[in-house]
Amino acid sequence: MIKTSGARQQNLTALNAACVALLLAYFLHFALPALGAGFGEDEMMNLYLYWLAGAFKSIQANLCFWSTTLPRPSGALYYLPLYHFFSLNPLPYRIVQVSILAATIPIFFCLALLLSGSRAVAFLVALAMCYHGQMATLLFTGSFIYDVLCGFSYFAALTYYVYIREKGLRLRPGQLAIFLALYVCALNSKEMAVSLPVIVFIYEALKCPRLRDWNEFARRNWRVAIPGFVAALMAAIYIWGKLTRPNSLANLEAYRPVYSWHRFTLTNAHFINDLLYDSASHIGRAVLIAWPVVFLYAFWRRDRLLQLMAFWVVITPLPLAFIPSRSAAMYYIVLFGWATIFARLVSYFIALAGKVPALSGPRTAMLSTFATAAVAVAFAVFTQWENQRFDRTGGLLSSEEKSLHVIQAFRSLALHPEPGSTILLRPEKRFYQNPYYPLFVASLVWNDHSLRIRVEGQQRLDEREIAEFSYVISFTEFQAKLLRAPKPDHA
């Protein structure tokens, strides 16, 4: 390990800080409009489920990460404190969501820098991870908080692990506990996290690429594999629980896997098309065919970073590869692999150009810096252009306004139902998708677990049953009317 002087180390730290500051400014350019977003239908359902379960069951579900009693329980750690302090004001929710994404950017930079040893590569990787137009829902749609939380915990755990291992050290018990705690947070956020132990194993294996090194590794350094084995055991327990226990998402048609080569190539090609802003073409399948080329080139170059990323782009999509195609934002973790491959290849081309006699010499380093900056600027301009071309920001913001209108409509009644009351919600016109959506909103507006709320049309009710409701409320997206209420007691 080469030691650097204190002054040089300070300069390097300052330069890294400047790179991260520039990346954050670029991220906020796209992220700040998201602070004006509201709540979507799915977010009302998510918040209602955690509110209904309560704090104790939510904490229990986070500790028992294999349980299916509460879906993706890390969401409760996000939603319940915000609801307790800010009720249904969307701004604090959006501030926290944007802040988590912003906090992940230095982690991307640090991980790429540790793996590549190149600040230019790290900067380009983090730049690509800051914002992608097809992943704008990570910023503008609250229900994608699970992908945000999973990405933060996943990359924090991996960066922490790699940081220690790149020093040539093994994880001590306390460090192992931190690594596993971050991994549990990732598992409790999204199923994508199950790939982390495999990535850790491959990272370690690539340090000993030859068989005789493997034998030496097994004899002398088996202890370094303990974190990966423990994480893999946790992942196996998690998968068993999620696939076999009641209330498993795998029982739903939208999440039921179909294990076939056709489904695997279809979902991955769909993601790559979205990644390239060209969802209508067949270029995604062409890139899939290029996978073996990436592997061969990585091992031919003996580039450990490219080798790891070649495995990364195949392994990390597997949790989603056999279910119906999903939004590109759900491939947030996968994007890191493709971004790193892109950044590394760019660095190779720049280095190759520096060997041209007309460009070589003492100014090679300066030319390399300018070339990297030019690529970064071109990439940022392209991202901005594509973002304006698709104009998803306006559509995403407007789609989140409906819940704000319904919340305001119920609040306009200035109603405080008596504890234990029964309430019948009567929609004048169906303007929502989830049939229980009015129940979610009304329950969260009044925040009383003793209320028994029904939505007309969801269950058959006769006139006698309707007459027994304490309150009957008709509503539209913009207005609510109190049709019946208990008579005040003047005794």
Q: Is the pLDDT of residue 250 over 70?
A: no
Answer yes or no: do 323 and 464 share one domain.
Answer: no
One DSSP character per residue, 202-256 reads HHHHTTS-SHHHHHHHHHH-GGGGHHHHHHHHHHHHHHHHHHHSTT-GGGSGGG-
Q: For residue 201, is pLDDT > 80?
A: yes
**pLDDT at position 365, please?**
67
Q: Let me know whether 320 and 432 are in one domain.
A: no
Shared domain check, 378 and 264: yes
Q: Same domain for 350 and 287?
A: yes
Task: Please check whether residue 87 lies inside any domain of the structure.
Answer: yes
Does residue 235 fall inside a structural domain? yes
- Residue 196 banded pLDDT, cuts 50, 70, 90: very high
What the block records as the tokens of 180 is: 């596993």
Strands ordered across the beta sheet of 452-455 = 452-455, 422-427, 471-475, 480-484
Q: Report whether pLDDT(360) > 60.
A: no
Same domain for 342 and 477? no
What's the residue count for the chain? 491
Q: Would residue 427 count as lying in a domain?
A: yes
pLDDT at residue 42 is higher than 80: yes
* Span of 163-172, 215-224, 345-354, 378-387 with lowest mean pLDDT: 215-224
Range of the domain at 434: 401-484
Average pLDDT, rounded, for the chain: 85
CB 275 within 8 A of CB 338: yes
> In this structure, are 162 and 16 located in the same domain?
yes
- Structural domain ending residue among the three candidates 333, 365, 395: 395
**CA pair distance 287, 273, nearest whole angstrom:** 9
- Comparison of pLDDT for 108 and 4, the residue scoring more: 108
Instruction: Examine the domain organization and report whether 173 and 311 are in the same domain.
Output: yes
Q: What is the pLDDT of residue 6?
A: 63
Q: What percent of the chain has pLDDT over 90?
A: 51
Instruction: Indicate whether 187 pLDDT > 80.
Output: yes
pTM: predicted TM-score of the whole model, two decimal places: 0.90
For the residues of 345-377, what is the DSSP string, one character each? HHHHHHHHHHTSTTT-STTHHHHHHHHHHHHHH
- Tokens of residue 106, six digits: 């230095």
**C-alpha torsion sign, points 249, 252, 257, 263:** negative
Residue 105 predicted with pLDDT over 70: yes
The pLDDT of residue 482 is 92
Q: In what helix (H) or strand (E) does residue 471 lie, and over which residues does it extend?
A: strand 471-475
In angstroms, rounded to a whole number, what is the distance separating the alpha carbons of residues 24 and 95? 15
Residue 91, C-beta contacts closer than 8 angstroms, at least 6 positions apart: 35
**CA dist., res. 239 & res. 243, Å (int):** 6
The whole-number pLDDT of residue 4 equals 52
- Residue 479 inside a domain? The answer is yes
Q: Calculate mean pLDDT across residues 433-451.
A: 93
pLDDT exceeds 70 at position 178: yes
- pLDDT bin (cut points 50, 70, 90) of residue 276 is confident
Identify the domain boundary among 395, 429, 458: 395
Q: Is residue 131 part of a domain?
A: yes
pLDDT at position 448, please?
94
Same domain, 414 and 304: no
Confidence (pLDDT) at 262: 73
Out of 52-66, 174-188, 338-352, 445-459, give the one with best mean pLDDT. Answer: 174-188
Is 387 contained in some domain?
yes
Please check whether residues 410 and 356 belong to one and the same domain. no
Which residue would you say has higher pLDDT here, 194 or 262? 194
Task: Give domain status of residue 335, yes or no.
Answer: yes
Distances (CA, A) of 325 to 246, 257, 291: 24, 11, 20
Query: Residue 222 pLDDT > 80, yes or no?
Result: no
How far apart CA 373 and CA 351 sit, in angstroms, is 14
Taking 3-state DSSP, the helix, strand and coil percentages for the chain, each rounded to the nearest 5, stand at: 70, 5, 25
The token pair at 428 is 């004048």
Asked if 417 and 271 sit in the same domain, the reply is: no
pLDDT reading at 9 higher than 60: yes
Q: 369, 395, 421 — which closes off a domain? A: 395
Please tell me the total count of domains within the chain. 2
Q: Categorize the per-residue pLDDT at 235 as very low, low, confident or very high, splitting at 50, 70 and 90.
A: very high
**Are 324 and 415 found together in one domain?**
no
More confident residue, 447 or 293: 447
Is pLDDT of 120 > 60? Answer: yes
Residue 96 near residue 83 (C-beta atoms within 8 A): no
Give the C-alpha distances (Å, rounded to integers) separating 232 from 270, 368, 397. 29, 41, 40
Instruction: Give the CA dihedral 39, 44, 48, 49, nearest 10 degrees.
Output: -110
Higher-confidence residue: 243 or 148?
148
121 and 69 assigned to the same domain = yes
Averaged over 205-219, what is the pLDDT? Answer: 65
Which pLDDT value is given to residue 2? 40
pLDDT above 70: residue 253? no
Q: Looking at the domain assignment, is residue 490 inside a domain?
A: no
Q: Which amino acid is at 320?
A: L
